[in-house]
Chain A
């Protein structure tokens, strides 16, 4: 029998039917819903007089729109100040209640950013197909799931049929071997990968992240990496199952126990690429070559080491790159050749589906502990990814560390990653952000985003400008 990649195995396991034209019907095990990309799908179901195919596959929670401010949040959906947002969240509640879909509502324990909530509750488990109307769904691939974002028409399709009509992607493997230096985190690894292959490097491919660096990484770290596969153009990012995967799943709310858990583990342990499986593209990086990363431009591929300099126009290989750089520098208000560490920050955002888990909170707290936010920094938002992360962080006293340092400790949600709620940048403001996209206007109209790790963002908050976290005592 031919050797298969992890992606091949996941694909084959979920194939309902393959058509002669190459399109396939793929079965979906888990469908995660939130307020922004689902209302039109439910409306479509209603107009066609259809019902969800199955209920026990769907799980919902509000995350994109909701306030992270405690006072507003405590007032629940009815107390949401932004009327348009309130209607959207209320519509999710109404749709879930009407159809009987399990939802963790705005202030319920379990609520959180969809890609934080799914794995932490054990809703998503190894070997599953997971979809959500959100491009960062690849996060769940850290558990060796076949997980990817879909559009709203497909949300409706999955609700109605439990399947997607899709085509098999190509296989790509990104291997990082070696030992990461002190202060170099999963975020730095994935930013370095995006810097190498570019923002379209993974288009039409499913990426498997392999090598000793990912084996050594925690599951939460793997989530950070898989989360940003889409920023390299790949809808799917995955890491094969190992003991860490199985340990992570054990005991979570929706994970089976006892004999059924053991039965699941037998299957889960097969979820690795076979030794002689073939990938369409192979990319290799040496762990030792990766320094803490910072984006300086308006695309995640516009990234470099914190110790480096903003590129200059004369370094560009072609006209397209030159034009792109010129536009990015103008938008970002930067000069070619400027040291990245010279960039002052106005605001700092620690959160998002990329970096809002307990390990991220701990990494930021390690740097914040006993230090003070620079007087020139207007605001530092620390936004835990879920109610469970928030509770855990508070149990560990991390909230006190952040507050003592002069940071804001907020309620869980997507917050300033995409600025659909009140958390946003003003025009021209620079932000050290642990989120995933530095597109123009992403964090607020005219806002200037610099992506980096939680420890680096905390360090920038203290220093008042982008700085190398490795110079801080306490950085691991």
Chain B
């Protein structure tokens, strides 16, 4: 897994609540059997004026100039500032893949849907939770300042603005550790193979119908 320690980068806005994963990456792009290449179709229906199709060259497509991330000032954004319940809906990991492939390293929002939040950590994408008031402050600063950047430090668990705000965020210790060190979670779990086998032996004695029936 890709490691994440700290990041400083340009901020881009997604100023609406309940952004769902269908919006982040529409279903027609889920037909791919790869993990990469979703970036050009991130927020496809909002970004372009025509219908996006797999394999279509996005460089010639008509751009929706009303969509903020298309504005020149947000070009190269690597921190996405978003609203509550970001990533709701489907479990598609294509959503964090698309965000990451586009160039985002961090998402900041007041809350996330559970599955999306979990999926981010598997892909070196840090989903930061700040309070609604803190997110409001960042949106206000972003609005006023072109080239607005934020610094995110995972070890210290802080988001810092150049204006002097330092906002702390919390996250689960295991997730932090895995992300900081880019750990292979499957490898870690396989170190517990003996415990898993022990569990299976006990469980099979107790609930034999769970085992061996699907063939």
Determine the chain A residues whose CB is within 8 A of the CB of B88 once the complex forms.
Answer: 199-200, 233
Determine the chain B residues whose CB is within 8 A of the CB of A161 once the complex forms.
Answer: 186, 189-190, 196
Q: Is the C-beta of B41 less than 8 angstroms from some C-beta in chain A? A: no
Kindly report which residue of chain B lies nearest to residue A90, judged by CB atoms: B33
- Tally of contacts, chain A with chain B, CB under 8 A: 199
Q: Is the C-beta of A419 less than 8 angstroms from some C-beta in chain B? A: yes
Q: In residues 197-215 of chain B, which contact A (Cβ within 8 Å)?
A: 199-200, 203, 206-215
| A233 in contact with B174 (CB, 8 Å) | no
* Among candidates A16, A39, A150, A445, residue contacting B45 with C-beta atoms closer than 8 Å: A445
| B114 in contact with A16 (CB, 8 Å) | no
Determine the chain A residues whose CB is within 8 A of the CB of B90 once the complex forms.
Answer: 134-135, 418, 437
| B210 in contact with A16 (CB, 8 Å) | no
Determine the chain A residues whose CB is within 8 A of the CB of B27 once the complex forms.
Answer: 418-420, 442
| B17 in contact with A123 (CB, 8 Å) | no
Q: Is the C-beta of A70 less than 8 angstroms from some C-beta in chain B? A: no
Q: In residues 18-50 of chain B, which contact A (Cβ within 8 Å)?
A: 18, 20, 22-23, 26-28, 30-35, 45
| B119 in contact with A153 (CB, 8 Å) | yes
Q: Is the C-beta of A378 less than 8 angstroms from some C-beta in chain B? A: no
Give chain A nearest CB distance to B100 CB in angstroms: 12
| B85 in contact with A151 (CB, 8 Å) | no
Q: Is the C-beta of A260 less than 8 angstroms from some C-beta in chain B? A: yes
| B33 in contact with A102 (CB, 8 Å) | no
CA–CA, A39 and B123, complex, Å: 16
Q: A203-B85, A324-B17, A327-B16 are in contact. Are A102 and B45 (CB under 8 A)?
A: no
* Among candidates A165, A260, A442, residue contacting B185 with C-beta atoms closer than 8 Å: A165
CA–CA, A419 and B55, complex, Å: 18
Determine the chain A residues whose CB is within 8 A of the CB of B122 once the complex forms.
Answer: 151, 153-154
| A256 in contact with B209 (CB, 8 Å) | yes
Q: Is the C-beta of A469 less than 8 angstroms from some C-beta in chain B? A: no
| B203 in contact with A151 (CB, 8 Å) | no
- Cβ contacts A237-273/B at 8 Å (1 or 0 each): 0000000000000000011100011011001000000
CA–CA, A353 and B5, complex, Å: 41
CA–CA, A36 and B54, complex, Å: 14
Determine the chain B residues whose CB is within 8 A of the CB of A125 once the complex forms.
Answer: 209-210
Determine the chain A residues whose CB is within 8 A of the CB of B54 once the complex forms.
Answer: 84
| B89 in contact with A151 (CB, 8 Å) | no
Kindly report which residue of chain A lies nearest to residue B206, judged by CB atoms: A267
22 intermolecular pairs with C-beta atoms under 8 Å apart: A22-B173, A27-B203, A88-B33, A125-B210, A127-B207, A135-B90, A149-B91, A151-B91, A152-B35, A157-B189, A161-B190, A162-B200, A163-B196, A199-B85, A203-B113, A263-B208, A324-B18, A420-B27, A437-B20, A439-B89, A445-B26, A445-B52
Given A37-B91, A125-B209: 19 more A-B contacts, CB < 8 Å: A19-B174, A23-B175, A40-B35, A56-B212, A57-B214, A82-B31, A84-B32, A102-B215, A149-B91, A149-B115, A150-B115, A153-B123, A230-B89, A256-B209, A327-B16, A437-B90, A441-B26, A442-B22, A442-B27
Closest CB pairs A-B (n = 3): A153-B122, A39-B33, A151-B93
